[in-house]
Chains A and B, each alone.
Chain A
Amino acid sequence: MEPNDIELVMMTRAARDDAAFAKLVRRHQARLRAFLRRLCGEASLADDIAQDAFLKAHGALDTFKGGGSFRSWLYAIAYREFLQIKRKEKAAMRLENALKAEATHSIASTGGPDAGMSLDLQRALATLEPLERASILLCDAAGLTNSEAAIAIDAPLGSVKTYVARAREKMRAALSVTSPSPQAETAARPGANGVLYAV
């Protein structure tokens, strides 16, 4: 039977077992990177943040108390990294450009990190405040519980619930405004995941 996250953390801590930590990396990397890609809208930046988060997590494993899940602790590190980078002026400009690009460029012309993401979804996500965006991505997309998301973004549980509810409302509104007309539907094709992509 596969050891759970906490057992792997214990193994890494007890024997400096990098193989145990490697399992944690393999287990969480894809969803953490997906979360960061949707959060910052730039694949290479998201991967850099994810890499830093794993390296920091490995270095700070002794400080993991086990009160919450390893996943929420890892996402918290990644989210702090994201915020730190966002604060840096240069990176902030890159992020801003990326977010603008999300809302204005077509999937085909970017061909980059968000290729494959519905244009409507990109636009809808771009309408959200950063905390709303992070909360809805953590809870509705990445599948974290509200409590885990609260740990990850270091916000009260009640606030996270509010952010998620508000984000859903805003996205629902944005998606209903941008939902394709019958004519537009004929010019769109369904993707593998059932999302309509602009063509």
Chain B
Amino acid sequence: MPSDSVEDLLKNDFDGLAEGLEKDRFAEQVLFKLTAKSRMRQGIVFFAGGLGAAFAASQFSGVVDAFSLQLAETSLNASPAFGELSHIAATLLLAGALAATVLVLRHEA
């Protein structure tokens, strides 16, 4: 038997086996497992974000009232649009909180 036969036999056998393994879905399975943890973390952040948004929305009228009280003490209470100002301020506050949440979620994704 020629001295390089063992090497050739092993190499040919190995290359044939590896070639067959290139085509299956092993890599995808590994990558799915790899991202499982981050998917779970994303889910938790989404859930917490949604819960926070729902809670904030339920408090909207309270926030509007709080802004009304604050604005009543300023010179803005003479403005004809005073009634809407507190709504706008409360909406901006919630929009800011929502934007911050979206930033976090984008970073997570």
Contacts and interface: CB of A to CB of B under 8 A. Distances in A.
Interface of A: 18, 21-22, 25-26, 29-31, 33-35, 37-38, 47, 50-51, 54-55, 58, 116-118, 121, 124, 136-137, 140-143, 168, 171-172, 175-176, 179, 191-195
Contacts, number: 98
B18 A137 contact: no
A22 B27 contact: yes
B9 A179 contact: no
Given A30-B19, A34-B18, A179-B1, A140 B10 contact: yes
B21 A33 contact: yes
Nearest to B23: A30
B79 interface: no
Interface in B1-37: 1, 3, 5-7, 9-22, 26-27, 29-31, 33-35
Given A29-B26, A33-B18, A193-B12, 11 more contacts: A29-B27, A30-B19, A31-B14, A38-B17, A47-B26, A51-B30, A137-B10, A137-B14, A168-B6, A176-B1, A193-B16
A55 B11 contact: no
A183 B105 CA distance: 71
Nearest to A194: B12
Given A34-B14, A116-B17, A140 B7 contact: yes
27 contacts: A18-B35, A22-B27, A25-B27, A29-B21, A29-B30, A30-B18, A30-B22, A31-B14, A33-B18, A33-B21, A34-B18, A38-B13, A38-B17, A51-B33, A54-B30, A54-B34, A116-B17, A116-B20, A121-B9, A141-B13, A172-B5, A175-B9, A176-B1, A191-B16, A192-B16, A193-B15, A193-B16
B34 A58 contact: yes
A51 B29 contact: yes
A195 to B, nearest CB: 6
List the 3 closest A-B pairs by CB distance, nearest first. A141-B14, A30-B21, A193-B12
A104 B16 CA distance: 22
B14 to A, nearest CB: 4
Interface in B34-71: 34-35, 38
A137 B10 CA distance: 8
Contacts of A30: 18-19, 21-22
B27 A26 contact: yes
B14 A116 contact: no
Nearest to B31: A22
Given A30-B19, A30-B22, A50-B26, A195 B33 contact: no
Contacts of B30: 25, 29, 50-51, 54-55
Given A21-B34, A47-B26, A121 B17 contact: no
